[in-house]
């Protein structure tokens, strides 16, 4: 931990030095008339990274000949090997000096867009971005000192994916269509051969888990409807499947697939039932018929929105749940936001998830024609 913290400080110090030095040398800020190189600077989690698709689509529509570079966590680089929207991904780890070295070797951008945390506007400045655009309201204020143009979040409800596209002026991008984000290359694995449903039972917080008995009841009904049920969960979440299906009645891929392999598993699935996690957003890209359960999270913020309006995607949630009452997104207060980011220390039992029954989930599946 000490070494990791030290390396993070070292990378931040280098970014700070480069950013401030270039600001002194370059002088007054002027937005370039022509955009030939664009940087999208961030360090988002999986779901948030995939929700950049509308922004990337809009960038390509607005600047068809521009080179578009997007930073990404090293673990997510496989998703960009297929060059969606003809973008180039560059790995960035705030604790890794080597990734910063690689970025610094090819500096100078006409435009930089910063979704999420505005601290990455400093990275954009260190990479000699001529004009930096980010969302307003981040705290503390020094995160935004390198930003040239602050865009307010909308006053009315909107999906986060659609909001990302607001960083760039102009009309919304065309809705997502099959093939817009080509499948990444994936190592071979044995996938189910028949009509199968994936039940993804893992999530970033135990407060998003659904009760094992409900998963078992759902699996039994899906099997009755003619599906081969398979379990899915991330590395370290195998115990969730063991608790749900101790008899191992259904095959499990928990902890065995890389992200590109997960894409392949979803792309040929007849159905996905998932919790509010990155896999739900991956399913939007594969256009897998999907039902997502939202407890603490916001179905408005993290549902399909306008960009994925044609996707076979259904949100199941308890509307206006009383303790889904926190109004922040990336540390900005947004009055219409309703979500819960409490920890286990603050919430012993996720009543918002416990209140979701099997019947509404089955109803959502039926509405998909499944």
Question: Quick one: which of 325, 297, 351 has its CA closest to 159?
Answer: 297
Cα Rg of the chain (Å, integer): 21
Over the stretch 184-208, which tens digit does the pLDDT of each residue have? 999 999 999 899 999 999 999 999 9
Same domain for 202 and 331: yes
Same domain for 228 and 92: no
Backbone angles phi, psi at 140, to 5 degrees: -70, 165
pTM of the model as a whole: 0.95
- Strand-pair category, 271-275 with 290-294: parallel
- Can you tell me whether residue 150 is helix, strand or coil? strand
259 and 75 in contact (C-beta within 8 Å)? yes
321 in any annotated domain? yes
Cα(126)–Cα(23) distance, integer angstroms:
9
Q: What are the residue ranges in the chain where pLDDT is below 50?
A: 1
Cα(17)–Cα(122) distance, integer angstroms:
10
The per-residue pLDDT for 25 is: 87
Q: Give me the CATH number covering residue 80.
A: 3.40.50.2000
Same domain for 342 and 236: yes
The per-residue pLDDT for 3 is: 53
Query: Of the candidates 167, 186, 221, which is a domain's last residue?
Result: 167
Cα(105)–Cα(330) distance, integer angstroms:
30
Question: Quick one: which of 148, 98, 264, 123 has its CA closest to 196?
Answer: 264
- For residue 164, count CB atoms less than 10 angstroms from its CB and return exposed for 0-12, middle for 13-18, buried for 19 or more: buried
Please spell the DSSP secondary structure of 49-94, one letter per residue. Answer: HHTTHHHHHHHHHH-TTSEEEEEE-GGGGGGGTT-GGG-EEEE--T
Query: Of the candidates 152, 167, 182, which is a domain's last residue?
Result: 167
Same domain for 137 and 224: no
**Residue 161's CB: how many other CB atoms inside 10 A?**
26
Per-residue burial over 290-299, b if 16 or more Cβ lie within 10 Å, else e, is: bbbbbbbbbb
Give every CB contact of residue 251 below 8 A, 6+ residues apart in sequence: 192, 228, 230, 231
Same domain for 363 and 277: yes
Same domain for 152 and 263: no
- Strand-pair category, 228-232 with 196-200: parallel
What are the tokens at 359?
Answer: 């019947």
322 in any annotated domain? yes
Q: Which domain holds residue 285?
A: 196-367
264 and 79 in contact (C-beta within 8 Å)? no
Cα(237)–Cα(60) distance, integer angstroms:
37
8 and 95 in contact (C-beta within 8 Å)? yes
Q: Check the CA dihedral 251-257-263-268 and report its sign.
A: negative
The per-residue pLDDT for 4 is: 59
The per-residue pLDDT for 1 is: 44
Q: State the total domains in the chain.
A: 2
Question: Quick one: which of 255, 211, 214, 206 has its CA closest to 232?
Answer: 255
């Amino acid at each position: 931990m000490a070494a990791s913290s030290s390396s993070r400080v070292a990378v931040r110090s280098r970014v700070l030095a480069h950013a401030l030095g270039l600001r002194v040398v370059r002088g007054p800020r002027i937005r370039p008339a022509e955009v030939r190189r664009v940087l999208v600077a961030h360090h988002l989690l999986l779901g948030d990274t995939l929700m950049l698709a509308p922004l990337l689509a809009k960038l390509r529509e607005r600047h068809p000949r521009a080179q578009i570079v997007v930073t990404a966590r090293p673990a997510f680089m496989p998703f960009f090997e297929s060059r969606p929207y003809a973008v180039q991904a560059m790995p960035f780890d705030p604790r890794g000096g080597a990734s910063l070295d690689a970025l610094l070797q090819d500096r100078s951008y006409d435009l930089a867009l910063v979704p999420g945390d505005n601290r990455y506007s400093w990275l954009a400045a260190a990479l000699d971005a001529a004009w930096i655009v980010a969302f307003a309201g981040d705290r503390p204020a020094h995160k935004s000192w390198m930003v040239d143009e602050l865009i307010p979040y909308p006053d009315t409800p909107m999906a986060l994916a659609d909001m990302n596209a607001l960083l760039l002026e102009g009309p919304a991008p065309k809705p997502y269509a099959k093939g817009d984000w080509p499948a990444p290359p994936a190592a071979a694995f044995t996938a189910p051969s028949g009509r199968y449903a994936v039940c993804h039972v893992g999530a970033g917080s135990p407060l998003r888990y659904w009760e094992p008995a409900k998963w078992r009841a759902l699996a039994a009904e899906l099997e009755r409807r003619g599906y081969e049920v398979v379990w899915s969960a991330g590395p370290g979440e195998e115990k969730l499947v063991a608790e749900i299906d101790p008899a191992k009645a259904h095959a499990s891929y928990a902890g065995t697939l890389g992200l590109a392999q997960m894409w392949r598993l979803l792309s040929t699935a007849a159905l996905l039932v998932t919790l509010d996690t990155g896999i739900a957003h991956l399913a939007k890209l594969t256009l897998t018929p999907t039902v997502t359960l939202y407890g603490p999270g916001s179905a408005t913020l993290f549902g399909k929105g306008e960009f994925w309006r044609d996707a076979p995607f259904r949100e199941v949630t308890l509307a206006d749940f009383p303790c889904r009452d926190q109004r922040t997104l990336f540390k900005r207060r947004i009055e219409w936001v309703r979500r819960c980011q409490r920890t286990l220390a603050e919430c012993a039992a996720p009543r918002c998830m416990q209140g979701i029954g099997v019947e509404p989930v089955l109803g959502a599946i039926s509405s998909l024609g499944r």
